[in-house]
Structure 1
Amino acid sequence: MNGFNLLEITLRDILDVINPLREDWNVRFHIIRELRAVVESIESLRGATVEPFGSFASNLFTRWGDLDISIELPNGSYISSPGKKHKQSLLGDVLKALRSKGGWHKLQFISNARVPILKFEGRENISCDISINNLGGQMKSKLLFWINEIDGRFRDLVLLVKEWAKAHNINDPKSGTLNSYTLTLLVVFHLQTLEPAILPPLREIYPGNMIDDLTGVRAVAEKRIEETCAVHINRIKSDKLRIINRSSLSELFISFLAKFFETCSRASVQGVSPYAGQWEDINSNMRWLPRTYALFVEDPFEQPVNTARTVGSNQLMKISEAARATHQLLVSSNHSRTSLIMNLVRPQISHFVTRTPVRHQATAQSMPRTPSNNYIRKGVGTHQNASRKQIPGQLQQQFQNRRVDNGRNGTIMNGQLQNTRVDNSRNGTMSEQDKASPSQRHVWRPARER
C-alpha cells in the first residue's frame, strides 16, 4: 500500500470515529430542551426562545463538539440588540437559575468578553456557550451549512482539520491559538484557492457584508439573505461549465497544510479574505489598518472583523510549525498508520482509531461521547446501544421555534425540524441513492418553494 492510499484510509477511519452518531444529536437536543425549561422559569426572560447555532447548526461538529446557544429576546418583529450591560444582567439571571436547578457543571460567566458568554458543561460533558440575541452567529451558521451543499468534501476537511488542530493544541483561543470558526474559514479559503477551485469567493454567494444587512424587520432581512444565497448557490451547482476538482481527501488535507503554512509565512504582510477568495495586502486594505494582529483572517460575513485576533506572535510560530511538521510527515515515504494517527488525532481519540482498520461501525458506536482518559479507563462498552439510525420522529416535534429547518444530518435551520435524519455514511456526504434523484439532493430553498 502506498503512502497516499494509507493516508486516505486513515483519514476515513478518523472520520468514522469523530463523526456524530444518533446519540450525539440526541444528547444535544436534550440539553436544548433542558435549557428551554430553565429560560422559561426566568421572569426577566419571559417569552424568550432558545436557539442553537455554531458548528451544531452548520453540521460541522464532531462527536465531542461544543454547543452554542443564543437566547433570543421577544423584541417584536424588528431586529434589535440589548446593550452589553443588559446582556450581562440577563446572563447573570441564567447563571443563578442553572445553579439553582443543579446538574450543570463548570459554570463560568465571561462578562467582559466582546460578546458576553455563559459557559458550562451539560450532559455527557458537552461544553455549552450561551449568548444573548446572537442573530449574526445564527446566520453565519446557516451560510456555512449552505456552503457545504456545494461540495461535501468541505465538511470532511473541516472535521479533520479541527481534530488535527486539537491534537497539536492550536485550537484554543484562550491560549492564543485558533478558534474553530477561524479554522473553518481557513478550510473555505483553501478550497477557494485550489486549481480548479472547489468553492467560490463568498462574495459570489452573498455579495455584501451580511452583518450590515441584518436590520429592520427580522423575517424580511433573513428571507432576503437566504433567498440571495439560494439563488447563487443553485447557480453555482447547476453550472455545467464549471471545472470539477476531483482531488481526494488525502490530497486536499496535504495541500491544506501547505496552504496553511504559507498563510502563516505571509501573515506579516498579507491577510486571508474568504470573501474575495484570495490573500490581500494588509497595507493596501484600509479596512485592516492599523495592522496590530499576528494573523488576519477576515470574517466574510462581518467585515472587517478579524476572527484570528486572539493569535499571538509566539503562538503563530507554534501553529506554523505544526502545519510544517505534519505536512512533512504526510509527504514522506516512511510514515506508518501509527505515526499518522499519533499526528492527526488526540491521544484519547487515537485509542479508537487504531481499533478500526476496516472501519467497522460497531467500534465507532461503542465510543464515549467525551474523549477523556476517564472514559477510556471505564472501557468502550458504555454505549453499545448507540446507532447511526434516523433520529426518532418524536424529536422532530421538540424544536418548533422559528429558524429550525430540515437538513441533512438533522441540522438546525429555518422552520420546524422536519425529515431529520443522521447520514449513515462515514463522512456525511451524499450516498449514491441520494444522488439518484433531484428531489433527494437537498438544497435550501425558501419555505414558500418547498
Structure 2
Amino acid sequence: MNLYSPEHQAGERDDYLVSRPRAWFAFAMTFALMLFDYIDRQVIVSLFPHLKLAWSLSDKQLGALVSIISIVVALGGLPVALLADRFSRVKSIFVMASLWSLASISCMFASSYGAMFAARAMVGVGETGYGSVGGALLATLFPRRLRATLQGGLLAAASLGSVLGVLVGAEVAKYWGWRAAFGVVGVPGLVLAVLYLLVSDYKTVALTPRSERARSSPLATVRQVVGTILGSATIWWTCLGAAFQLIVISTIWSWLPSYFMRFHGIAPDRAAREAALVVLCGAIGGIVWGNLADRLGARGHTRKLVMVASLAVVTFVVFLTAFTVAASSPHQFLLIAFGGFLMTCTLAPSAGVIFDVVHPGARATGASILSLFQNLFGLAVGPVLGGWFSDMWGLQTALAIMPAFGIVAAMCFLLAQRTYESDVARVLGVHVDAAASDVPPTAVSA
C-alpha cells in the first residue's frame, strides 16, 4: 500500500475548495471555537491564588491543573483524528466542543483538588483532536499559499482566548467568586458547537488506489498512514521543535500572573491584566510570523524554517535578560512583552509545514501527531516543570531558565530544513473534492 501513489498526481493547482464566503465562514467558526477552547483552558491560571488558599496547594499542584489538559489531548488526539479523517471533520468538532464546554461548567462544582483535577481532565477529553481536525479542515478548504497565515490567525485565537480566560477569570472571581468563572466561560462553547454544524466539510480522500484498498484491512490502513507520516524526517524534527518552543510559551502563560503578584506586589486583577497584555503580544506575533512564513515560503521553501530557528534563539535571549539583569529595571515589562511577541514564532509555521508534507487524506492525522508532541512534550511540561523549579529555586529563577528550551527548538527546525522540499514534492497535485454543493469551477489539489 503506497500512500503517495502516482495515480493521485495531477497538475499543481492552488484555489479555494468551496466558495470564498463559505471558506471564510468556516475560518470564523473555527476561530471562535478555538477562542473558547483556550478561554476554558486558561481561566484557571488567574484563579491560582484562590485555589492555593482554598486547598493549600503547592505550585507543582497548580501547574498540574493546566498540564493535565495537554496530557489528555496528546494521548487522545491521534485516534480522534484518524476517525475524523475517515468520516466527518465537522461532526467530530461539534461533539468535541459540546463535551469540553460541559466539562468546563462542571469545574464550578468541584469540592476538592482531586475533583477539580478530574474535571480539568474531562475538559481535555473534549478538546482532544480539535486543533488538529480544525486545522486540517481549513488547510483543505483554503489555497495552499494561505496555510501558514490562516494557522497564524487560528493560533492567535488561542493566544487571545488565553488573554480573555485570564481576564475574565480574575474579574468574575473578584465580584462573584472563583467558582462562577467556570460557568461564565463554559456556556458560549455550547452555542458555537451547534452553529458549527453549518460549516462546509470536504469529502474523505482516498489514501490508496482501489486495488490496494481491496486488499487492506482498516487496521493495516491505520498502521500504514501513521507509519508513513512518522517516516518523514521533516515531520519528526518539526514536531520536536514545536514542542520545545511550547515549553517556553506554556511556562510564560501559566506563571506570569503569579510572578507579577509575588515580585511586584500587585493585586491579582491587575496582574492578570498585565499578563494578558503579554499574551496578546503573542497573538499578534502569531499572525505576523505566520504571514511572514508564507511570504518567505513563496520565495524559497526552506527560508521560513531558518526564520523560525532564528526567532526562537532571540526569544531565549530576551527572556533571559528580562528575568535576570533587567529584573529590577522599569523596562522589564517591555522586554517581557517583546519576548511574548517573539515566542509564538513557531506556532503557525509548524502547522503549515505539517500540512505541506502530509497527504490530504491524512491531514488531521498528521496534525494530531503535531498536537501530540505539542501537548505531551510542550504544553504539559512547561507549567509543571516551571512550578517544580519555582518550588526549588524561586519563580524568577524558573522563568529565567525555562526559555533555554528555545535553543533546542531552533536546532530541530534547522534539521527539518534539510528534508522539507523533498517531502513537499511527494504530495503536490493530490485531488480533493468538497462535500458541499458550491465547489468552484476550477479543479482543486493539495
Relative to the length of structure 2, the TM-score reads: 0.27
Question: Which protein has the bigger helix share?
Answer: 2
Higher relative contact order (CA 8 A, sep 6+): 2
- TM-score normalized with structure 1 length: 0.27
Q: Whose strand proportion is higher, 1 or 2?
A: 1
